[in-house]
Structure formats: structure tokens, C-alpha cells
């Protein structure tokens, strides 16, 4: 189901500069599954050690961090020989043990013949603390929910993904294919990209059961708050997490701490927001008033929007109807297309793994949903949930910055009208590929 990640793992195994691998990402995004599948197919044996399930494992790293001693002891503990080069060692939920995490440094320096892949649902949180991970001694791989393209793969529609991957221009797709892709996109809006939900949908197509899976995943996140977050931050984490839906229904989706609770201030809640971000549960999109490279130099850190890691989980948080017709009516009326903005943020983050930004005019009268850096160029992207492409904000941005092109993503087919390029929502992951073909000072052909 995670074809792209699997290829990254293949590249890691064959690299001459291979280091221990750290997979990070939110809980239940498929880290363990993909590592086990990779190990079964590419190695003679898997040696799987889960630090949450087996609390005794941490003691193997107490005495010292010599890799040869650790391997010998772990081999005896499981009564199985661990062979260099031939076997894959998996350290799961490694964030539980600081010493195990730090031992990866010594495996890289002294025993790189052992192939070690580690994973953790809260590695981002753990690594935000000083001295808790081996800087420069590991390869990182970030795991996120399945993209819409991977969703197509899971539903046996790889042929449609292949069609999209071959697109290099804005020539429209045949109408039947376009309409089919819109139908699958609407299903993705409900199911989202959490692997368990996608797998169950592919097998049963039973939406009520999908919603129960989504609720269970959300509950596991809330339990993580109580188990792993500082006690003083737990109520704040819950408040912010529950507020994601609140901002959907607002015309101004700027995140405001004062809207969380009367009298709430940024300095009181910022740590909780960062915790959620480091845990991979939210994406922050920061405002800029000036569109120039690099965007980070013009970012207003106090003005931002917050999106959920997965559109399916967002629907569960919002308690949207399980009936697909009522669901679609709600997300395009009451939530004014904000679900589609969340979907777009999720796909862009998956495609680029970089910080996201949006543009707002100085007086806040106009906004462009996303500004992205592509080959040192700034690419504006306006998001529309339906087929009405009119946008005063896009016009305002064009008047102020006069870019060589303007991009929008809608339910319309591929199309180019002057400098305006329309990318269908189902193909928004190819935004970077399509826009990257054109130099900054050259108008689109």
C-alpha cells in the first residue's frame, strides 16, 4: 500500500552510505507494517523488538552501548542468531528508551554491517528534547497517511495512478476517466489515508465500520496525550485537538489561541501545539505577506492555520454523516470547502515534506491558500472545493506580484487559461512536478 516508501527502503538497503534508519510518524500510519513487509521480502530473517510491548528490552542498553555485546545479548534473549548483512533488526517504539535510541550512533560507527531500522510513533516529540537522539548518525524517513495516489493503488486502480503519473501538460483527461477519479476522490474524503481504514474499505466498502476504525485511532492519540505528554499540557492538547473542527466552520481559519478558551494566550498553549506538531498529528501552515524566496524569511510565526494529519480522521472528529450523500453535502456547505483545504495540505505535505505557507494581504482582505517553493520560485495555489474557479484573492495576488503563472486546484479537468493553470484536486500531488517545468520569468506555453 505504501509503494513509494517501500522504494525508499530498497534504496536505503543498497546504499553504500547506509546508516541505521529511523522511521517517524504518527501512530498507526503503517510504520511497523511496511518494515515487516520489507524485511520479509528483502532479508533472510527479521528480528523484531518492540520496546512498548516488552519493557525488559531497555535493560539490554543499560550496561554499555557496544553493538557487539548488545547483538550477542539480544540473540541469546530470543534464542536466534542475528546475521550481519542478511538479517533485518527492527527496533519498534524506540522512543521508549533513550539509551536504545542513542545506541544507533555506535551501530553506525562500529557495526554498520548490521541492518537496523527503528520506528516510533512519538519520535518527533522525543527528538525535540536535547541529547535524545544520535545527530548525523541515522537516516530519516517520515511516514504519513496514504496519499490519494496510494489510495488508488489500494483499491486496485493503479492504472489511474499510472495515467496521472504520465501527465506533463494541462491537456484534459477523457471525461469518463476524469469523472471516475472524482468519484474515487469523494470516497477518499471520507475514508482518508490511515492504512487500517483504507485496507478495510478496500475489502468491505462498509463506511460505518470505517468510521469505527477512525474513532479507535483517534482514541489511541488521546491516550498518548495522557501517557506521554507533560501532565500540565494534557488538557491543552485535548482542547487544541478538539478545536480542529471548530476552525473548519469559520470563514477566517487563522488559528487563534483566544478561541480555544476565554483568556487563553499563545505562551500558555504554544508548547502543546508544538507537541502535536512533533507527534505528526497536525500540519501548520504559516502566513506570509510578501511572496519572495525563501518564504521562511517572510513568515509571520504568530499567524498560521492548523490542519489535521488525515482528512478521514478529521471527518470522524467532526462527526460527519456516514451516509456518503449527506457527508458530501455537509463538507461543501457547512464547512465551506475547508475539508478540501485540509486534503490539499495533506497531499502537499506528503509530496514535499517541507514547511507550508499561505499568503494574506496586509489588511487581510485577500488570501491564497498555499504558497510553495519550487526550484527557488514561489508558486501560488488556490483551492476550490467545486467547479466554480472564480477567485478575487488570486486576482489580487496577481495584481500585486504578477507571477508568470497562477495555479488553482478544483473539481474541473486539467486546463490552462492564459497564465491560470487548473489542476484537478485528484492530481494536486503533481502540482510540484507540473509547475517545476517552467522557469520563473517565462510564461506558460
* pLDDT digits 0-9 by tens, 367-392: 999 999 888 889 999 999 877 777 78
Domain check: are 322 and 379 in the same one?
yes
CATH number of the CATH domain containing 92: 3.40.50.300
Over the Cα atoms of the chain, what is R_g?
Answer: 23
Domain check: are 127 and 180 in the same one?
no
Domain check: are 306 and 184 in the same one?
yes
Of the listed ranges 23-37, 118-132, 356-370, 397-411, the least confidently predicted one is: 118-132
Domain check: are 154 and 138 in the same one?
no
Q: Which of 94, 114, 142 is the last residue of a domain?
A: 142
Contact 21, 117 (CB under 8 A): yes
| pLDDT over threshold 80, residue 336 | no
Domain check: are 277 and 326 in the same one?
yes
| pLDDT over threshold 60, residue 75 | yes
In a domain, 42, yes or no: yes
In a domain, 440, yes or no: no
Q: In what order do the strands lie in the sheet with 282-288?
A: 299-308, 282-288, 356-360, 367-374, 377-383, 406-410, 420-424, 415-417
Q: What is the C-alpha end-to-end distance of the chain, expressed in Å?
A: 36
Say which residues have a Cβ less than 8 Å from residue 392's Cβ, sequence separation at least 6: 366
Residue 268's pLDDT band, with cuts at 50, 70 and 90, is confident
d(CA 199, CA 205): 10
Residue 263's pLDDT band, with cuts at 50, 70 and 90, is confident
| pLDDT over threshold 90, residue 199 | yes
Q: Which of 109, 142, 175 is the last residue of a domain?
A: 142
How much is the average pLDDT of 39-67?
95
Domain check: are 130 and 164 in the same one?
no
Which pLDDT score is estimated for 439? 44
| pLDDT over threshold 60, residue 445 | no
Where do the H-state alpha helices sit in 29-165? Answer: 31-42, 67-78, 98-110, 123-127, 148-154, 158-165
| pLDDT over threshold 80, residue 11 | yes
Question: Regarding beta strands 367-374 and 377-383, do their DSSP bridges make them parallel or antiparallel, or are they unpaired?
Answer: antiparallel
| pLDDT over threshold 70, residue 132 | no
How much is the average pLDDT of 334-360?
89
Which pLDDT score is estimated for 287? 94
| pLDDT over threshold 70, residue 254 | yes
How much is the average pLDDT of 204-233?
94
Which pLDDT score is estimated for 128? 62
Residue 1's pLDDT band, with cuts at 50, 70 and 90, is low
Q: How many CA atoms lie within 13 A of 66 on its CB side?
A: 6
**Structure pTM?**
0.91
Which pLDDT score is estimated for 363? 77
Considering only residues 12 and 253, tell me which one the structure prediction assigns the higher pLDDT. 12
What letter would DSSP give residue 233? G
In a domain, 429, yes or no: yes
Contact 357, 286 (CB under 8 A): yes
Give me the chain's average pLDDT, please: 90
Backbone angles phi, psi at 208, to 5 degrees: -60, -35
| pLDDT over threshold 70, residue 440 | no
What is the total count of domains within the chain?
Answer: 2
Domain check: are 273 and 401 in the same one?
yes
Q: Using CA of residue 227, residue 228, residue 230, residue 232, what is the dihedral sign? A: negative
| pLDDT over threshold 90, residue 122 | no
In a domain, 317, yes or no: yes
Domain check: are 21 and 154 in the same one?
no
Task: Give the angle 200-205-207 at the CA atoms, nearest 5°.
Answer: 90
How much is the average pLDDT of 298-307?
92
Contact 289, 262 (CB under 8 A): no
Helices (H) and strands (E) in the chain, counts: 17, 13
In a domain, 269, yes or no: yes
In a domain, 443, yes or no: no
Contact 441, 404 (CB under 8 A): yes
Domain check: are 129 and 208 in the same one?
no
d(CA 23, CA 354): 17
Which pLDDT score is estimated for 412? 95
| pLDDT over threshold 90, residue 121 | no
Q: Which domain holds residue 118?
A: 3-142
Of the listed ranges 282-286, 311-315, 334-338, the least confidently predicted one is: 334-338
The fraction of the chain above a pLDDT of 70, given in percent, is: 93
Domain check: are 376 and 294 in the same one?
yes
Q: Which of 142, 167, 195 is the last residue of a domain?
A: 142
Where do the H-state alpha helices sit in 128-233? Answer: 148-154, 158-165, 175-191, 195-204, 207-228
d(CA 246, CA 318): 9
In a domain, 444, yes or no: no
Domain check: are 105 and 199 in the same one?
no
Which pLDDT score is estimated for 442? 37
| pLDDT over threshold 70, residue 437 | no
| pLDDT over threshold 90, residue 73 | yes
Which pLDDT score is estimated for 13? 96
| pLDDT over threshold 60, residue 131 | no
Considering only residues 16 and 441, tell me which one the structure prediction assigns the higher pLDDT. 16
Say which residues have a Cβ less than 8 Å from residue 353's Cβ, sequence separation at least 6: 142
How much is the average pLDDT of 152-177?
96
Domain check: are 123 and 204 in the same one?
no
Which pLDDT score is estimated for 444? 36
Amino acid at each position: 500500500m505504501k509503494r513509494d516508501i517501500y522504494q525508499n527502503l530498497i534504496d536505503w538497503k543498497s546504499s553504500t552510505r547506509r546508516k541505521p534508519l529511523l522511521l517517524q510518524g504518527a501512530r498507526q500510519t503503517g510504520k511497523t507494517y511496511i518494515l515487516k513487509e520489507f524485511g520479509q521480502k528483502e532479508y533472510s530473517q527479521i528480528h523484531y523488538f518492540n520496546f512498548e510491548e516488552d519493557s525488559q528490552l531497555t535493560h539490554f542498553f543499560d550496561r554499555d552501548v557496544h553493538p557487539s555485546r548488545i547483538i550477542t545479548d539480544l540473540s541469546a534473549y530470543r534464542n536466534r542468531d542475528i546475521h550481519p548483512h542478511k538479517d533485518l533488526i527492527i527496533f519498534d517504539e524506540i522512543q521508549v528508551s533513550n539509551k536504545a535510541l542513542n545506541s544507533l550512533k555506535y551501530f553506525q560507527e562500529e557495526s554498520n554491517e548490521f541492518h537496523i531500522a527503528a520506528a516510533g510513533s512519538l519520535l518527533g516529540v522525543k527528538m525535540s528534547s536535547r541529547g535524545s537522539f544520535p545527530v548525523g548518525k541515522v537516516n530519516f524517513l517520515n511516514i504519513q497517511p496514504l496519499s490519494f495516489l496510494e489510495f488508488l493503488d489500494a483499491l486496485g486502480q493503479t492504472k489511474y495512478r499510472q495515467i496521472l503519473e504520465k501527465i506533463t501538460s494541462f491537456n484534459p483527461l477523457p471525461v469518463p476517466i476524469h469523472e471516475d477519479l472524482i468519484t474515487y476522490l469523494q470516497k477518499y474524503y471520507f475514508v482518508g489515508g490511515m492504512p487500517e481504514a483504507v485496507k478495510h474499505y478496500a475489502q468491505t466498502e462498509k463506511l460505518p465500520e470505517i468510521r469505527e476504525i477512525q474513532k479507535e485511532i483517534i482514541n489511541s492519540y488521546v491516550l498518548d496525550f495522557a501517557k506521554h505528554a507533560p501532565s500540565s499540557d494534557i488538557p491543552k492538547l485535548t482542547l487544541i485537538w478538539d478545536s480542529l473542527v471548530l476552525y473548519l466552520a469559520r470563514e477566517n481559519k487563522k488559528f487563534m489561541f483566544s478561541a480555544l478558551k476565554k483568556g487563553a494566550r499563545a505562551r500558555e498553549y504554544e508548547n502543546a501545539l508544538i507537541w502535536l506538531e512533533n507527534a505528526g498529528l497536525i500540519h501548520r501552515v504559516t502566513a506570509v505577506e510578501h511572496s519572495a524566496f525563501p518564504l521562511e524569511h517572510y513568515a509571520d510565526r504568530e499567524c498560521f492555520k492548523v490542519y489535521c494529519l488525515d482528512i478521514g480522521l478529521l471527518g470522524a472528529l467532526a462527526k460527519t454523516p456516514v451516509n456518503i450523500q449527506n457527508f458530501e453535502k455537509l463538507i461543501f456547505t457547512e464547512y465551506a470547502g475547508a475539508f478540501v483545504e485540509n486534503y490539499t495540505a495533506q497531499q502537499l505535505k506528503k509530496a514535499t515534506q517541507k514547511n507550508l505557507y499561505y499568503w494574506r494581504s496586509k489588511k487581510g482582505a485577500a488570501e491564497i491558500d498555499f504558497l510553495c517553493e519550487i526550484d527557488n520560485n514561489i508558486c501560488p495555489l488556490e483551492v476550490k472545493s467545486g467547479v466554480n474557479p472564480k477567485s478575487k484573492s488570486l486576482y489580487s495576488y496577481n495584481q500585486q506580484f504578477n507571477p508568470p503563472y497562477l495555479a488553482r486546484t478544483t473539481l474541473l479537468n486539467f486546463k490552462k487559461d492564459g497564465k491560470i493553470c487548473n489542476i484537478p484536486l485528484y492530481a494536486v500531488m503533481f502540482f510540484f512536478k507540473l509547475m517545476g517545468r517552467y522557469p520563473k520569468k517565462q510564461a506558460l506555453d
